[in-house]
C-alpha cells in the first residue's frame, strides 16, 4: 500500500476525531493481531501436506475418470453422487474439467438412468436437477411433475430422497409451482419423521431444514461434511477422497491465514494514518464474506483485493451512518466524484486522512490490476464512486425524513446500497478478463442507484 504522503498528511496530533463528537461505541474486533503470529502448521508440515495431496489428487483423479467413463446405464447415480461428494467435501475445484465434461453430457441427455425404483428415480432426478442448476444449466422443473399426485404429494418416503428433493427445490425461480409444492411437502414430511430417525440422519435432516445446501458457505460446509463423510459406513466412502479432503482443507487454511496476516498488516497501517474509531473493525469478517465469493487457492489476489475494497466501502458506510455531519457527507461525496487529492484541503483534519487513504488504496488496486494486464482496472474507481453516491442518497432521505411511497422506490436505492452487485462486479473484474466488457457493463447497470 502507498501510505498517506507525509507532504499532505495531517500531523499526528491532528489525526484524532473531533473531541466534541463521540464515535459510536462499536465492539472491538475479537481477532486483534491474532493472525500476525498464528501459524496452523509449520513450513515443513505444509510442504509435506502439499506433496501428499498431489499424490492423493492423482489417485482420486483416476477414480473420477474410471467412474465417469462407465457406459453402464445404471451408473448415473454413482457419477452424480461422486460429483456431489467432491464438491461438498471441498475438492471439486481440483476436478473442474472432468466435472464439466460429465455435466455437459448429462445435460445433453447422453447420460441417463434405467431400471430405477420410484424412490431411486426421484432421487436421481433431484440430484441431476440440483447439480445442473447449480452449474447454471437450463433445466425444466417439469421433470418433477410425474412424481406428484393430485393432492400435491410426492411419491417417496425415503429420507435421503426427500432431502435431495428439498435441496433441489430450493434452486427454484419465481413461478415454479411444482418446486414450491416440493419444498412444502418435503419439509412437512421430514419434520414428521425426524423423531424416528437414527441420530446421525436426524441431525442431517435438522441441519438441512435450517439451512438448505445452496445457502451454505462452501468452506464451512467442507469442514462439516468431512466429518459427516468420515462417519459413513466404510462401504459408502472412499478413503482416498477423504484423505485428500483433509489435506486440502489444511493446506487452504494455511493459505487463508497468510492472507489474513497480510490484511491485518494493511489494516494496522491504515489505522496509523487515520483515526478510524468511528468505524467497525471487521477485517476478518469482511475476509470471510469474500471467501464465500472466491475460495480457490489460485484466487488469493482477488480475495485480498475484494476484502480491501469492501473494507474501504465499510469505512465510508460507517462514516455516513454514524459519525459525519450532513455537510461533511455532501463535501466528501463531491470530492470522491472528482477524485482529486487536492480536495482534501476542503476537509477537517480527520477527514483528510480518510479521504487521501481511500484514494491511495483504490489507485493502488487499479495499478496492480493494470500490471496484471487487466482491461477493466479503471472500473474499480467507478464502483467506489457509485456506492458512495448510494450512501449519500440514503443520508438525504434520512435528513429529509423521506419515506418512499412504494417498496419499488425503496429498492431502487436500498438494493444497490447493499453493495451486493458491486461485489459481483468487482469479483469478475479481479478475476481478469474472464468476463467481457459487455457482461460487466450489464452488471454495472444493475448496481446503479437509479
Task: Answer yes or no: do 226 and 263 share one domain.
Answer: no
- The reported pLDDT for the residue numbered 2 is 37
- The reported pLDDT for the residue numbered 112 is 54
Helix (H) or strand (E) holding 442: helix 437-447
SS (H, E, C) 210-253: HCCHHHCCHHHHHHHHHHHHHCCCHHHCCHHHHHHHHHHHHHHH
- The reported pLDDT for the residue numbered 287 is 97
Task: Answer yes or no: do 431 and 286 share one domain.
Answer: yes
Task: Answer yes or no: do 156 and 257 share one domain.
Answer: no
- The reported pLDDT for the residue numbered 3 is 42
Q: How many whole angstroms from its chain centre is CA 242?
A: 24
In a domain, 22, yes or no: yes
> Per-residue DSSP letters for 325-392?
-HHHHHHHHHHHHHT-GGGGGGS-HHHHHHHHHHHHHHHHHHHHHHHTT-TTTTHHHHHHHHHHHHHH
Task: Answer yes or no: do 145 and 176 share one domain.
Answer: yes
Task: Answer yes or no: do 204 and 331 share one domain.
Answer: no
How far apart are the C-alpha atoms of 81 and 99, rounded to whole Å? Answer: 11
Domain hosting residue 148, numbered range:
70-237
How far apart are the C-alpha atoms of 251 and 11, rounded to whole Å? Answer: 44
Angle at the Cα of 238 from the Cα atoms of 233 and 243, rounded to 5 degrees: 115
- 427: phi then psi, degrees, rounded to nearest 5: -60, -45
Task: Answer yes or no: do 233 and 288 share one domain.
Answer: no
pLDDT-flagged residues of the chain (< 50): 1-4, 6-12, 114-118, 450
How far apart are the C-alpha atoms of 267 and 260, rounded to whole Å? Answer: 10
In a domain, 427, yes or no: yes
Grid cell digits, residue 305: 483485493
Task: Answer yes or no: do 151 and 277 share one domain.
Answer: no
How far apart are the C-alpha atoms of 161 and 122, rounded to whole Å? Answer: 7
Task: Answer yes or no: do 333 and 305 share one domain.
Answer: yes
Task: Answer yes or no: do 290 and 201 share one domain.
Answer: no
Give how many domains the chain has, as a whole number: 2
- The reported pLDDT for the residue numbered 200 is 94
In a domain, 54, yes or no: no
In a domain, 5, yes or no: no
Contact by Cβ (8 Å): 399, 326: yes
Task: Answer yes or no: do 265 and 216 share one domain.
Answer: no
- The reported pLDDT for the residue numbered 343 is 93
What CATH number has the domain bearing residue 115?
1.50.10.130
Instruction: Pick the last residue of a domain from 237, 268, 293.
Output: 237
Task: Answer yes or no: do 283 and 418 share one domain.
Answer: yes
How far apart are the C-alpha atoms of 391 and 416, rounded to whole Å? Answer: 10
**Neighbouring-strand partners of residue 154:** 148
Long-range contacts, 283-288 (Cβ 8 Å, 24+):
283/29, 283/31, 283/307, 283/311, 284/29, 284/31, 284/35, 284/260, 286/310, 286/311, 286/314, 287/256, 287/259, 287/260, 287/263, 288/217
Instruction: Pick the last residue of a domain from 181, 210, 237.
Output: 237
In a domain, 57, yes or no: no
Mention every residue, 6+ apart, whose C-beta is less than 8 A from residue 360: 1, 2, 3, 4
What CATH number has the domain bearing residue 342?
1.10.600.10
In a domain, 257, yes or no: yes
Contact by Cβ (8 Å): 447, 425: yes
Task: Answer yes or no: do 258 and 231 share one domain.
Answer: no
- The reported pLDDT for the residue numbered 15 is 56
Instruction: Pick the last residue of a domain from 179, 208, 237.
Output: 237
SS3 148: strand
In a domain, 105, yes or no: yes
Mention every residue, 6+ apart, whose C-beta is less than 8 A from residue 149: 155
SS3 126: helix
- The reported pLDDT for the residue numbered 117 is 47
Question: How many CB atoms neighbour CB 239 within 10 A?
Answer: 11
In a domain, 60, yes or no: no
- The reported pLDDT for the residue numbered 1 is 39
How far apart are the C-alpha atoms of 168 and 134, rounded to whole Å? Answer: 9
Amino acid at each position: 500500500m502507498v501510505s498517506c504522503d507525509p507532504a499532505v498528511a495531517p500531523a499526528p496530533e491532528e489525526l484524532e476525531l473531533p473531541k466534541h463528537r463521540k464515535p459510536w461505541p462499536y465492539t472491538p474486533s475479537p481477532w486483534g493481531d491474532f493472525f500476525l503470529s498464528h501459524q496452523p502448521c509449520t513450513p515443513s508440515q505444509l510442504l509435506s501436506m502439499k506433496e501428499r495431496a498431489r499424490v492423493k489428487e492423482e489417485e482420486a483423479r483416476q477414480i473420477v475418470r474410471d467412474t465417469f467413463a462407465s457406459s453402464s446405464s445404471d451408473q448415473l447415480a454413482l457419477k452424480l453422487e461422486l460429483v456431489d461428494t467432491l464438491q461438498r467435501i471441498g475438492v471439486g475445484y481440483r476436478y473442474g474439467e472432468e466435472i464439466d465434461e460429465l455435466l455437459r453430457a448429462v445435460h445433453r441427455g447422453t447420460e441417463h438412468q434405467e431400471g430405477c425404483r420410484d424412490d431411486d428415480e426421484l432421487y436421481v432426478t433431484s440430484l441431476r436437477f440440483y447439480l445442473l442448476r447449480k452449474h447454471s444449466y437450463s433445466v425444466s422443473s417439469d421433470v418433477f411433475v410425474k412424481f406428484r399426485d393430485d393432492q400435491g404429494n410426492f411419491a417417496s418416503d425415503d429420507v435421503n430422497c426427500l432431502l435431495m428433493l428439498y435441496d433441489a427445490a430450493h434452486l427454484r425461480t419465481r413461478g415454479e409451482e411444482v418446486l414450491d409444492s416440493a419444498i412444502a411437502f418435503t419439509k412437512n414430511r421430514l419434520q414428521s419423521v425426524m423423531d424416528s430417525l437414527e441420530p446421525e440422519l436426524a441431525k442431517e435432516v435438522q441441519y438441512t431444514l435450517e439451512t438448505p445446501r445452496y445457502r451454505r458457505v462452501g468452506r464451512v460446509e467442507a469442514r462439516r461434511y468431512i466429518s459427516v463423510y468420515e462417519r459413513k459406513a466404510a462401504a459408502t466412502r472412499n478413503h482416498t477422497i477423504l484423505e485428500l479432503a483433509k489435506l486440502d482443507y489444511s493446506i487452504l487454511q494455511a493459505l487463508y491465514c497468510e492472507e489474513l496476516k497480510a490484511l491485518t498488516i494493511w489494516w494496522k497501517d491504515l489505522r496509523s494514518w487515520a483515526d478510524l474509531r468511528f468505524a467497525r473493525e471487521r477485517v476478518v469478517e469482511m475476509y470471510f464474506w469474500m471467501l464465500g465469493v472466491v475460495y480457490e487457492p489460485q484466487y488469493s489476489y482477488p480475495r485480498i483485493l475484494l476484502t480491501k475494497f469492501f473494507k474501504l466501502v465499510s469505512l465510508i458506510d460507517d462514516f455516513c451512518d454514524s459519525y459525519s455531519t450532513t455537510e461533511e457527507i455532501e463535501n466528501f461525496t463531491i470530492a470522491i466524484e472528482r477524485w482529486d487529492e487536492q480536495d482534501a484541503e476542503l476537509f477537517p483534519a480527520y477527514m483528510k486522512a480518510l479521504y487521501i487513504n481511500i484514494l491511495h488504496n483504490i489507485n493502488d488496486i487499479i495499478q496492480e490490476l493494470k500490471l496484471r494486464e487487466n482491461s477493466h482496472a479503471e472500473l474499480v474507481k467507478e464502483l467506489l464512486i457509485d456506492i458512495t453516491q448510494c450512501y449519500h442518497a440514503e443520508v438525504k432521505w434520512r435528513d429529509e425524513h423521506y419515506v418512499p411511497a412504494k417498496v419499488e422506490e425503496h429498492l431502487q436505492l436500498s438494493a444497490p446500497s447493499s453493495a451486493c452487485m458491486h461485489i459481483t462486479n468487482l469479483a469478475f473484474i479481479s478475476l481478469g478478463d474472464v468476463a467481457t466488457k459487455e457482461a460487466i457493463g450489464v452488471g454495472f447497470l444493475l448496481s446503479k442507484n437509479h
